[in-house]
Amino acid sequence: MVKLKGRVAVVTGGGSGLGRELALCCARRGMTVVLADVDEPGMAETARLVTEECAGSDCVAYPLDVSSADAVEAFAAAVWDRFGGIHLLFNNAGVAVNGPVWEHTVADWEWVLGVNLRGVAWGIRAFVPRMIAQGEGHVVNTASAAGWVNAPGSAIYNASKASVVALTETLALDLRDVDADIGVTLLSPAFFPTPIAESERNRPPELADTAPMSEIRRKRDQELRHAVQHGRIAAGTIAERALEAVEAGRFYVFPHAKIKDLVGARADAVAAEADVFDTLAGR
């Protein structure tokens, strides 16, 4: 999809971080922006920034829990009824927990997979058939470097993002099977300044954190926060690269070039069939 001006974009996780920057990038291109998030005050701030920077831009917000298939379907139907279609879908909402894999609770798994994996699956399920029917569209799924190389202390997040990689590659191939004129982009950033480390603020009470705060969990949590806060690429830059990929019709987007080197090193470790690849050590 090359022409974005005058089209409609949907951004999940639009209340903060990368979602906010994606919304701004779309608005700068003259798109109508539809935000979806459980963070209603955050969406209000995103809408304010869009309106402030892009006078005359149409930006609307819908409260949405992407882990609910029924809620996402109702959201898609409401957006279609209001705007007559959508052209660019960002399945972007994401959350994270930390700690050794054996310490994660059932609630941890339900929460993170519900948002990070099922949220993407339900977005595809609700929007892609409608895009196929309208004859055009583009889907951008936010995976992560963690979908390609695995660091300790992030088992559920790693598993969710590796699944998004698999799901997105398969989506592109399935669309090719039916000769659908729908573009797909897989966005895989590494660490960058974003509220992902504060995602507990939106965790539902019924899936509250009850895992022990062990010493290793505390260590990994501190490391994550430091890595996020000191990320060298801004969220706005990553968002802009995602939009450029949509305009160019590119599938893979790695904003952090070093990740491709790590993916290659991991492939070498796989070929050698030796020890587990250590992402932090790069070998």
Within a domain: residue 283?
Answer: no
The pLDDT value recorded for residue 56 is 86
Is pLDDT larger for residue 214 or for residue 30? Answer: 30
Q: What is the DSSP letter of 116?
A: I
The answer to the question of residue 188 being in a domain is yes
CA distances from 260 to 50, 53, 184, 280 (A): 33, 34, 20, 14
4 pLDDT band, cuts 50/70/90, is: very high
Q: What is the pLDDT of residues 100-116, one digit of tens each?
A: 999 999 999 999 999 99
pLDDT one-digit tens code per residue, 255-281: 999 999 999 999 999 999 989 999 989
Is 30 among the domain residues?
A: yes
Question: Could you tell me if residue 234 is inside a domain?
Answer: yes
Which residues neighbour 207 within 8 Å (Cβ) at sequence distance 6 or greater? 107, 108, 110, 111, 114
- The pLDDT of residue 5: 95
pLDDT over 90, % of the chain: 84
C-alpha count within 13 angstroms, C-beta hemisphere, residue 205: 0
Is the separation of the CB atoms in 112 and 62 below 8 Å?
no
Catalytic residues: 157
What value does the mean pLDDT take over residues 226-230? 76
Overall domain count for the chain = 1
Has residue 245 been placed in a domain?
yes
What is the spatial distance between Cα 81 and Cα 85, in angstroms, rounded to a whole number?
8
Question: For residues 27 and 210, which has the higher predicted lDDT (pLDDT)?
Answer: 27
Mean pLDDT on 144-154: 96
* Residue 152 · residue 220 · CB < 8 Å: yes
pLDDT of residue 2: 67
Provide φ and ψ at 223, rounded to 5°.
Answer: -65, -40
Question: Which pLDDT value is given to residue 98?
Answer: 92
Residue 260 identity: K
Mean pLDDT of the chain: 95
- Residue 164 in any domain: the answer is yes
Q: Is 154 helix (H, G, I), strand (E, B) or coil?
A: strand
The pLDDT score that the predictor gives to residue 143 is: 98
Nearest Cα to Cα of residue 47 among 71, 14, 25: 14
Residue 73: Cβ within 10 Å count = 14
- Angle at the Cα of 190 (from 107 to 30), degrees rounded to 5? 100
Residue 46, both tokens? 């995103």
Residue 46: Cβ within 10 Å count:
28
- H-helix or E-strand containing 155? helix 155-177
Residue 274 falls inside a structural domain: no
Residue 279 lies in a domain: no
Range of the domain at 74: 8-257
Strand 137-142 and strand 8-12: the pairing is unpaired
The SS3 call for residue 4 is coil
- Whether 228 has a pLDDT exceeding 80, the answer reads no
pLDDT in tens, 21-52: 999 999 999 999 999 999 999 999 999 999 99
If pLDDT is split at 50, 70 and 90, which confidence band does 97 have? very high
What is the rounded average pLDDT of the residues 62-85? 98
Helix (H) and strand (E) counts in the chain: 9, 7
Total Cβ atoms within 10 A of residue 132: 15
CATH number of the domain that 94 lies in? 3.40.50.720
Q: 3-class DSSP state for residue 63? A: strand
Give the pair of three-digit tokens for residue 147. 């979908």
